[in-house]
Amino acid sequence: MPMTDEEKNGIWKELEQKSPDLLKVFLSLKNEDELKAFFRDLMSERDLREFAMRWEVAKKLDAGVPFSQIQEESGESPVTITKINRWLKEGCGGYKMMIDRMKGEQK
């Protein structure tokens, strides 16, 4: 069953109430050093590792790597890989947008 718009985007209303300028802060980062400094202060090491793992799994799924191989290489559970795959295919398009952008920059 496809995700509803509320499932995809419901979090933004809550975040905008709790931290109205968070997205502006992200957009104002000027370079990799600023991003690293801010993200390191903002997030735990666990958070950063989780983001990195999700990104790597999404890229592998987009490239057609089988679930079993991703699980073996990453150590992630099939449930986690399935969730990432669902967001890749039915989410807001963010994973795909950035995967395509990174592919374009590698040319």
Position 79 pLDDT exceeds 80: yes
Q: Are 57 and 70 in contact (CB under 8 A)?
A: yes
For the record, the structure tokens of 44 come out as 């735990």
Mean model confidence pLDDT for the chain: 94
pLDDT of 4 reads: 84
Q: pLDDT tens digit string along 22-58? A: 999 999 999 999 999 999 999 999 999 999 999 999 9
pTM: 0.87
Q: Where are the domains of the chain?
A: 1-42, 44-107
Distance of alpha carbon 15 from alpha carbon 74, whole angstroms: 30
- Overall average pLDDT of the 57-84 stretch: 96
